[in-house]
Amino acid sequence: MRRKVTNRNIPNADIMYGSVKIEKLINYVMEAGKKNTARTIVYGALDIIKEKNKEIEPLEVFELAIKNAGPLMEIRSRRVGGANYQVPREVRPERRFALAMRWIINAAQAKKGRPMREKLADELLAASKNEGEAVKKKENTHKMAEANKAFAHFAW
């Protein structure tokens, strides 16, 4: 059995909102170590969300988007006696957060023709309404887990 990880690096809270989750989003968006560019993109996206939704705080939209895009179940390959089985497993909260962030950012990057801050804002708004590519990916993951429920007894 694996040993518990004792020294998880937790980033400091971000400058504008005082949220560790927003700082993690900035780190996920960052490419080639350009953190100021990533900050500009993320804060620009949150400003666009604030303009579009006057009644809801951008931080609440972000939290709701992460909650809606994070999967509860996933499938993992397990080799048993020469055959590979897709075994459904529950997702730990840290991994759920990481997958939701990754899926939202990848969905935003896949769109073409507009600045990244606009694409990220659109994807966050869509995910907060239970729509968009990231939520579709979560639903597909849940369908796969449901379809392979027969192999749940292989879970380790």
CATH architecture classification, 20-72+92-140: Orthogonal Bundle (1.10)
pLDDT at 125: 95
User: What are the structure tokens assigned to 69, written together?
Assistant: 């895009």
pLDDT of residue 156: 64
* Cα angle for residues 7, 12, 15 (degrees, 5° grid): 170
What stretches in the chain show pLDDT beneath 50?
A: none
pLDDT tens sequence across 100-135: 999 999 999 999 999 999 999 999 999 999 999 999
Q: Supply 55's token pair.
A: 């009644």
Stated pTM of the model: 0.89
Identify whether the C-beta of residue 59 lies closer than 8 Å to the C-beta of residue 19.
yes
The amino acid at residue 145 is: A
Burial of 45 (0-12, 13-18, 19+ CB in 10 A): buried
CA separation, residue 106 to residues 22, 63, 100, 120 (Å): 17, 18, 10, 9
